[in-house]
Amino acid sequence: MAKQIQEILIDDLDGGEANETVSFAIDGASYEIDLSDGNAKKLRDALMPFVQRARKAGTSTPRRRGRGSSRSMSREKSSEIRAWAKAHGLPVSERGRIAANVVEKYEAAH
């Protein structure tokens, strides 16, 4: 049996067809938004004066991982994120680590 899966991006601003997913970060939070070429250009043009005067952030500080990390979350929060992801059609496992992009989408929505 053959299967064909097609992913169609919808522009998050105007509901039209999107051509790309644009990633950006501000105030320590990373975001992704699906945009048409025109809306992606508007976003980049709006940010350009700031980007031209900014410096790239380095990753010279070692990051802690594992138990006790400041990035770990409570069981209640994990359950809440899993329930939200399922309700919004996002793939999420029943247990284990929740994908970062799912957590980011949850946080952006709340």
Q: From first to last of its 110 residues, what are the pLDDT tens digits of the chain? A: 899 998 889 999 999 999 999 999 998 899 999 999 999 999 999 999 999 999 888 755 555 555 444 456 788 888 899 999 999 898 888 888 888 899 989 989 88
- The domain that holds 108 is classified in CATH as 4.10.320.10
Residues 40 and 11 placed together within one structural domain of the fold: yes
Residue 101 in any domain: the answer is yes
Q: Judging by beta carbons within 10 Å of its beta carbon (0-12, 13-18, 19+), is residue 64 exposed, middle or buried?
A: exposed
Q: Which domain holds residue 34?
A: 7-54
What 100-108 contacts at long range (C-beta under 8 Å, 24+ apart), as own/partner pairs, is 101/32, 104/29, 104/30, 104/31, 104/32, 105/32, 106/81, 107/29, 108/29, 108/31
Residue 20 in any domain: the answer is yes
